[in-house]
Amino acid sequence: MEWLTNVEGMAGWIRSWGILGIIGSIVLNIIISVAGVLPSIFLSGANAIVYGLVGGFFVSLTGEVLGATAAFLLYRYGLQKSKGLKKLEKFSWIQHINGASRFRKGLAIVLLRMNPLIPSGVINLGAALTTISFADFLLATLVGKIPSMVFETFVGHDLVYLSENKSRLIISLLAGSLVFLLFWKREKSRSS
């Protein structure tokens, strides 16, 4: 299982499947999303190595969106089945989000998805706890995942080809850090 954290090893695994590697990559991305704690940057980088930056981006984006969708539906269904959703609705942050407009709920998902450093599983679970509709969650996830998937695809790819893409990797990491700092600063000023 060490290939899960080794971009070149994962690229080799995807290549070994031939054309079915696309399906294998998407399924693996769904598993990563449902697990909620595994990073997908290695898989995004491997997809970029195997399918190129553009093809890898689309394979990774498809897997991420399908994975987030599966996780959202499983979490929501599981919470409703166990009646845990009713108990959790008493939390003030859930009430606050549920009281927001449809647009603001979707915008919150988009903004959270844009930050590649926030675990997708946290966003999926948080959204499942709210009253956001499935369609709104899906659209917001798709829109919000595009920037973070660009980041993950480039960084994962450039880590393997470091000697050829040092400058682009540094720019990508600085841009990702800037996004993280902006989110962190905004949250810090809101809580003050």
pLDDT in tens, 89-142: 666 777 777 788 889 889 889 988 887 667 888 899 889 988 899 999 999 999
Instruction: Say what the alpha-carbon torsion angle 56, 58, 62, 67 is, to the nearest 10 degrees.
Output: 40
Q: Who wins on pLDDT, 84 or 136?
A: 136
Structure-token pair, residue 3: 């290939």
Report the distance separating Cα 173 and Cα 166, nearest Å.
11
For the entire predicted model, the pTM comes to 0.77
Instruction: Please give the C-alpha separations between residue 166 and each of 19, 71, 178, in angstroms, as whole numbers.
Output: 31, 35, 18
Residue 163 CB neighbours (<10 A): 5
In this prediction, residues 39-63 reach a mean pLDDT of 89
Determine phi and psi for 107, rounding to 5 degrees.
-65, -40
Tell me if 165 sits within 8 A of 158, measured CB to CB. Answer: yes
Helix, strand, coil percentages (3-state) for the chain, rounded to 5, are 85, 0, 15
Residue 157 CB neighbours (<10 A): 25
The whole-number pLDDT of residue 25 equals 94
